[in-house]
Structure 1
Amino acid sequence: MANESGTEDTNNNKDNADSLLADIQKKITDAFDIFDHESNKTVDVREVGTIIRSLNCCPSEAELHDMLAEIEEEEPTGYIRFEKFLPMMTKVLMERRYKPSPEDQILKAFQVLDTDMKGYLTVEELTKYMTEEGEKFSKDEMEEMLGLAVDRIKGTILYKEYTRVMAVDEYAL
């Protein structure tokens, strides 16, 4: 129960904010530590995108490049230090930046690609779109996507089902 001045409510809000901040920073630390192979609070710059995406953030390649520029050393070493990564990533997560697309938006994107309204895409169609348009997928990224997307029986991408796999619960963080 709050007293007349509302102090208890203010304290509860502060406690909740502190708890949220602690949870977020623990998730960032845990994700970073997985890729800190030398246990020296640094990770290879090439792993940062994977770390960020593991935290349910989906920046574009250009946005990722900007994030890296913000935390790289003056003289690039090929490594990112935890002490620079943590405050940047905490701010990103607290502001809910680079949120993943919701399921209905992903479904609409697939429907735009399915010009014949078949309810599926062929491997060839999806590969063409993903490797020739916009932010192109690498061969490895395409293989990973197809490994999850292709219906093993029909040999096509039943995108309504795949959309559920792709969608991330925004509050899963």
Structure 2
Amino acid sequence: MADEKEREASEYIMADLHKRIKEAFEVFDHDVNNTVDVREVGTIIRSLGCSPTEGELHDFIAEIEEEEPTGYIRFEKFLPVMTKTLLERKYRPISEDILLRAFEVLDTAKRGFLTKDELIKYMTEEGEPFSQEEMEEMLSAAIDPESNSLNYREYVAMMVIDEN
């Protein structure tokens, strides 16, 4: 009896997971033909609570792309790989405290904020640099137009995904 209940629970979890993946995919399936533009895959993955790096995203796409790349990804190839990714809890977002500590390291004067210029410098010259488009998107979301700076405590609290 316990095995039967576990199997039913597992089937329910998988059905719910597949439903969430299908709904996220369908948002970008503009032609309603079970395909999405390969450039939308990162947005779909992120909408499902994952935060892959550009390298991880490239590997993910390589795994689901057709032998001869068409520029489109088919749902039947996306579903099993995305399901496995979610079940294995891959590409999990960084926790709030780690993110805060990272900003604090950059804020050597311990002011509680970074200026727009400092942010641009760190995001384009260090680590995995932001593209121009990513930089503009972050600045529009993060920079307070009045102070021309980023209050990183407020930003981190807004950006962190609640896992519960």
TM class, shorter-length = over 0.9
1:61 and 2:54 correspond:
yes
Matched residue of 2:19: which SS?
helix
Matched residue of 1:90: which SS?
helix
- Residue of structure 1 in register with 2:85 after alignment: 92
Percent identity for Structure 1 against Structure 2: 59
Q: Which residue of 112, 119, 131 corresponds with 2:112?
A: 119
Deviations 1:39-75 (A, max 9, x none): 1111111111111111111111111111111111111
Matched residue of 2:51: which SS?
coil
In structure 2, the gaps of 5 or more residues are: none
Letter in 1 for 2:39: R
Cα distance between partner residues in 1 of 2:105 and 2:159: 17
User: Which stretch shifts more, 24-33 or 153-162?
Assistant: 153-162
Cα distance between partner residues in 1 of 2:133 and 2:56: 21
Matched residue of 1:63: which SS?
helix
Contact 1:99 1:170 in 2 (8 A): no
1:158 and 2:155 correspond:
no
Q: Which residue of 74, 79, 84 corresponds with 1:81?
A: 74
- Residue of structure 2 in register with 1:29 after alignment: 22
Alignment size in residue pairs: 164
Letter in 1 for 2:78: F
Structure possessing the higher radius of gyration over alpha carbons: 1
Cα distance between partner residues in 1 of 2:142 and 2:74: 35
Normalized against structure 1, the TM-score is what?
Answer: 0.90
Normalized against structure 2, the TM-score is what?
Answer: 0.95
In structure 1, the gaps of 5 or more residues are: 1-6
Cα distance between partner residues in 1 of 2:140 and 2:15: 36
Letter in 2 for 1:40: N
Query: Which is bigger in relative contact order (C-alpha 8 A, separation at least 6)?
Result: 1
Deviations 1:102-156 (A, max 9, x none): 1111101111111111111000000111112222112221122122212343221
Matched residue of 1:92: which SS?
helix
Q: What is the Cα-based RMSD across aligned positions, in Å?
A: 1.2
Contact 1:131 1:138 in 2 (8 A): yes
Matched residue of 1:135: which SS?
coil
Letter in 2 for 1:128: K
Q: Which residue of 43, 57, 62 corresponds with 2:36?
A: 43
Contact 1:100 1:170 in 2 (8 A): no
Cα distance between partner residues in 1 of 2:49 and 2:163: 8
